[in-house]
Every structure is written in structure tokens, then in C-alpha cells.
Amino acid sequence: MKKIKKALISISNKENIYLLLKYLTKFKIQLISSGGTYKEIKKLGFKCLEISKYTGSPEILGGRVKTLHPKIHAGILSKRNNKSHQKDLIKNNFEKIDLVIVNFYPFEKTLESTNNHNKIIENIDVGGPTMVRAAAKNYKDVTVIIKPKQYNELIKELNHNNGSTSLDFRQKMSEEAFNETAYYDALISNYFNKKSKNLFPQKKIIIGNLIEKLRYGENPHQEAAIYSKSIKLNIKQLHGKQLSYNNYNDIFSALIISKSLPKNTGTVIVKHTNPCGVSINKNNLKSYKLALDCDPISAFGGIVSCNFKINKKLAIELNKLFLEVVIGNGIENEALKVLKKKKNLRVIDANHLKLNNLQNIVSNFGSILLQSSDTNTFSPKDFKVVSKKKPNFKTLKNLIFAFNICRFVKSNAIVLIKKDSTVGIGSGQSSRLDSCKIAINKMRQFQKKNDSDEIFAASDAFFPFVDGIEKLVQVGVTAVIQPSGSIRDKEIIRFANQTGTILVFSKTRHFKH
């Protein structure tokens, strides 16, 4: 237990300090402060000594230097049970400071509110982190408080211990303080890296704000949590049970596809992070129904993501199926009412989520693999028709649609399309031929046999042999899109020409493992 006699307060966030000051005064704790905090304390009617009077050193450089003084830092850093430290204090006429209440210049808020580099730099706090780091280092003797949220904890602790704090409490506050200083400098570091377009600095600092601890991970015996690089996630849960790890994983897998589809037309159904049905249609209800038709069995217990606002009609249709999550770019009120009839169904509004420059992280065994995400937008220029038979505009559009979905399917990926809707998706195989077979089997299982629509196919990487594309053509595929690069490309072009198949090569390959 350490009795608190002297506290230093320097806060940029002045929230909720009245009650705190009341308690500090109640326990006869002497206050030292400066600048705006000092004025606020006086205004609220409490006694307080100005730091410049305390140190005998003026506040200079417009406030840049006020607390960086040996009297302050010896007061914080001295070990109470170290005789030599205590002698040093007496000799220099320094006093112990037992409590440091500091929060930093709002660097993060500044980043969010301005692009003005000078203003951003001015908001790098130097004095604050120094006091906090000193106090946190010396937590065996000193209590450090870094945010208004902790005031109540401090008041409780002081009340409970009659003006003292326990070692446990001080250690917990110290831990939170170092979390904060690390986070603060990570923001600055990331800001500089971004400014100089340094994607891969020698030391990479990835920060996360805890969104929630999850019930468990991919499996019940794994512990898990979800964090956001920003202060919050840009999706909003409007209804339903707590999201699980697998829900989140599926939601982001679904959204990366949804956000890549033409606006206000697309429905994606995801199961185990793989799409099992995708469709684009200006009629939203049709869009959903066609996506579902691709594999209605896999859709059971899946996630439906619409890149349009969900209306009542669609909500009624969605309720007919057991789903884990429904995602919309907004949900109409009447639709939400309908969806809420299902108590457990999680309903998500993803209207504010944007497909920005993203970096993916995969970490195993203490390694961290970082890469820019594969979300570039395709344009017809990225593709080259290599067959004699040329695609018309509609065919090319369908091929690009198919190819775009393909890159979000686990490799090796084959996607079969009819009129803006998937009809067969083959995923997760080491043999491309196997993926073809899986896609074809899905199509056979769920599509009407005598339907005359053309079938288009996409492959995420080149066909190494003719066998894969041959299988596709045998079941009626009339146009194929794929990256080039096989030593058998010519053979494959020849096969396409022999069978009157349209063949388009893309410039880019799209593995997703």
C-alpha cells in the first residue's frame, strides 16, 4: 500500500475531473498542474500549485517544455526504498510525486480531423508520455492514470484504502499506461511510414483496438478476440446474437466480394469463407434468389450479403431460410422488423465499410506475412481475347464477373456462370481438374437441365493441361477466362478454336490460399 500525498495532473481531455478532484482533495492530496489543466482546476474551486512555481523553471516554447524538469522526474522516478535515491531528493530539495494523471495531446483525433502536417506534428506529445512512462516504470511506488475511464477505478481504490493504492492496482495501471504509450507511438510511426509511402519498414507496428472478446475462436477450445485498426469496425450489428469468430471471418469474406460487385445489384452467399452463390441483378429479390439457386444446400446456415439496401419483400424471403447472418448496405425499417422475428439472426449494416487500400495479415508460428490485398478493379483492357471466336459485350461482361468471383474462392478455383449468376463453384483443390469436376457437379445438381442459357467459366490460374477446359466444354461451357502462363497455352488456344470456344486471357493470376 502506498499513501498518496502529491499528484501531478496534466490532461488534454478535461472530462469528468470534478468528481476526481473532489476525492483527491478529500484525501488531502496536494495537486500540481500547469497550463489549461491548472486553470480548469482553479475554475472548479480546488487548490493547486502551478508546475512552474513548483520547479522554479518557467513554462517555455509555447508549452513545449514545462514538465521536462529533474524536480518532476526525480519526484516520479525515485525508489522509495532506495536510501541513495531518497538522499538525492533531500539534497536537491525535491519531493516525491505519488500519482501522475496525464493524458496526451490528441494525436489520433488530430489525424482523423486534418491533413495539415504541421498541426499533426504539433500534436505529438513529448512531456506527457515522458511522465507516464516514468510513473509506469516506477509503478512499485507510483500510480499512473492515463484516461478518464480510469477515474472511477482510482476513486474506488482510494476510498477502499483510505487514500492509498495497492501494488496490484498500480501494476494494472502501469500495464495500461505502456499499452497506451506503445499505441500512441505506433500511431505516429504509422503516420510517418504512410507519409513516406514506406509499406514495409524495418519495424512494423500493427495496432488494434479491442472491439470485443469473442466467446471462442474457430473452435470452442480456442480463445479469441476481434480488434480494429481504427477505433471501431465500420460495420454495425442491428440485431441478433453476439457475432462469433467464424461469423466475423465469414462476414469479411462476404463483404470483400459484395463490395467488388456493381453497386446496388449484388448478392453473395458465403459458407466457411467461400462463396457458394453470387448473383448481380437490378431486381434485388431476383439477385438473392439467383444467388441461392447456385447451391441452396450449402446456403443453409450461411451468410447472405447484399450490396444494396434490404427491403421488406427480400426480408420475408430471407426469413424462409436458416441463416447465421444477413448483411445489407443498409436495412429498411420495415425489413428490419421482419428480420427481427428471428431472434438469433445477426443483422449487419455494412453501408459505411469501404474497400480502401488494404493490407492483409496472416500470422503463424511467430511469422507475419503482410501483403496488399487483391482488390484491384478490372477493366476490359486487362484482358486479351486469344480465340478466333470473339466475345460480344455481354459475354465479356459475364466473363469478367466470373473472373472477379473466382479470385475470392479458395484456390484452385473454378467458377461457372449463367447470365450474371454463379451456377457452379469449385474450390480448395490442389488439382485444377478436381475443381472443374466439383463446379460441374454443383451445376448438374441444382440447375434445370433444359435451360438454354450460355455457360461461362473462369479459372483463378492457368490450366496446366487441356483436360480441365475440355471437361468444361463437354458440359456446354462456351467461353472461358483464365490467366495465361502455362507451357501448354498454345495447345489450349488450339483446343478452344477447334471447339469454337471463346477464350480470354487475363494479365493477372488470382491465387487465394
Q: State which of positions 442-501 bind a copy of itself (CB under 8 A).
A: none
**Contacts within 8 Å (CB) and 24+ apart, 366-373:** 368/204, 368/206, 370/200, 370/204, 372/199, 373/256
DSSP string, 434-463: HHHHHHHHHHHHHS-TT----EEEEESS--
Rounded (10°) CA dihedral 287, 291, 294, 296: -120
In 75-202, at which residue ranges do the beta strands (DSSP E only) sit?
A: 99-102, 143-145, 164-165
- Binding of a copy of itself at residue 360 (CB under 8 A)? yes
* Smaller CB separation from a copy of itself, 88 or 317: 88
- Binding of a copy of itself at residue 370 (CB under 8 A)? yes
Residue of 297, 344, 384, 444 that binds a copy of itself (CB under 8 A): 297
Alpha helix (H) ranges present in 93-149?
Answer: 107-113, 117-122, 127-137
* 125, three cell numbers: 506529445
* Residue position matching grid coordinates 486487362: 382
- At its nearest, how many Å lie between a copy of itself and the CB of residue 47? 25
Contact positions with a copy of itself (CB under 8 A) in 37-76: 57-58, 60-62, 64-65, 68-70, 72-74
Paired residues of 409 in beta bridges: none
* Smaller CB separation from a copy of itself, 212 or 453: 212
C-alpha–C-alpha distance, residues 509 and 507, integer Å: 7
- Binding of a copy of itself at residue 272 (CB under 8 A)? yes
Alpha helix (H) ranges present in 234-332?
Answer: 245-258, 284-294, 296-299, 312-318
* Residue position matching grid coordinates 473462369: 458
DSSP string, 4-46: --EEEEE-S--TTHHHHHHHHHHTT-EEEE-HHHHHHHHHTT-
Annotated active-site residue in 6, 39, 73, 137:
137
- At its nearest, how many Å lie between a copy of itself and the CB of residue 497? 28
- At its nearest, how many Å lie between a copy of itself and the CB of residue 417? 18
Annotated active-site residue in 73, 272, 312, 340:
272
What would the x/- binding string for a copy of itself be over residues 80 to 99, using CB under 8 A? --x-xx--x---x-------
- Binding of a copy of itself at residue 361 (CB under 8 A)? yes
Contact positions with a copy of itself (CB under 8 A) in 327-356: 353, 356
User: Are the CB atoms for 100 and 142 separated by under 8 Å?
Assistant: yes
* 77, three cell numbers: 522516478
Catalytic site includes residue 320: no
- Binding of a copy of itself at residue 430 (CB under 8 A)? yes
Residue of 12, 161, 319, 429 that binds a copy of itself (CB under 8 A): 429
* Smaller CB separation from a copy of itself, 418 or 510: 510
Residue 439 has phi, psi (to 5 degrees) of: -60, -45
User: Are the CB atoms for 273 and 218 separated by under 8 Å?
Assistant: no
- Segment lying near a copy of itself (by CB under 8 A), choices 250-258, 306-314, 392-400, 497-505: 250-258
Burial of 282 (0-12, 13-18, 19+ CB in 10 A): exposed
Residue of 19, 44, 167, 206 that binds a copy of itself (CB under 8 A): 206
End-to-end, the C-alpha distance of the chain in Å comes to: 54
Residue of 166, 234, 264, 319 that binds a copy of itself (CB under 8 A): 234
- At its nearest, how many Å lie between a copy of itself and the CB of residue 270? 9
* Smaller CB separation from a copy of itself, 441 or 498: 441
Catalytic site includes residue 194: no
- At its nearest, how many Å lie between a copy of itself and the CB of residue 85? 5
* Smaller CB separation from a copy of itself, 376 or 474: 376
- Segment lying near a copy of itself (by CB under 8 A), choices 327-335, 371-379, 393-401, 496-504: 371-379
User: Is the four-CA dihedral 301, 307, 310, 314 of positive or negative sign?
Assistant: negative
- Segment lying near a copy of itself (by CB under 8 A), choices 151-159, 218-226, 386-394, 414-422: 218-226
Alpha helix (H) ranges present in 44-82?
Answer: 51-55, 70-77
* Smaller CB separation from a copy of itself, 29 or 268: 268
Say what angle helices 17-26 and 35-43 make with each other, to 10 degrees: 80
- At its nearest, how many Å lie between a copy of itself and the CB of residue 336? 23
C-alpha–C-alpha distance, residues 406 and 426, integer Å: 9
Count of residues near a copy of itself by CB under 8 A: 134
- At its nearest, how many Å lie between a copy of itself and the CB of residue 87? 9
- At its nearest, how many Å lie between a copy of itself and the CB of residue 101? 18
What would the x/- binding string for a copy of itself be over residues 169 to 198, using CB under 8 A? --xx-xxx-xxxxxx-xx-xx--xx-xx-x
Residue of 209, 351, 486, 499 that binds a copy of itself (CB under 8 A): 209
- Segment lying near a copy of itself (by CB under 8 A), choices 2-10, 253-261, 330-338, 451-459: 253-261
Q: What is the 3-state secondary structure (H, E, C) of 216-259?
A: CCCCCCCCEEEEECCCCCCCEEEECCCCCHHHHHHHHHHHHHHC
What would the x/- binding string for a copy of itself be over residues 109 to 148, using CB under 8 A? ------------x--x-x--xx--xx--x-----------
Helix (H, G, I), strand (E, B) or coil at 143: strand
Catalytic residues: 137, 272
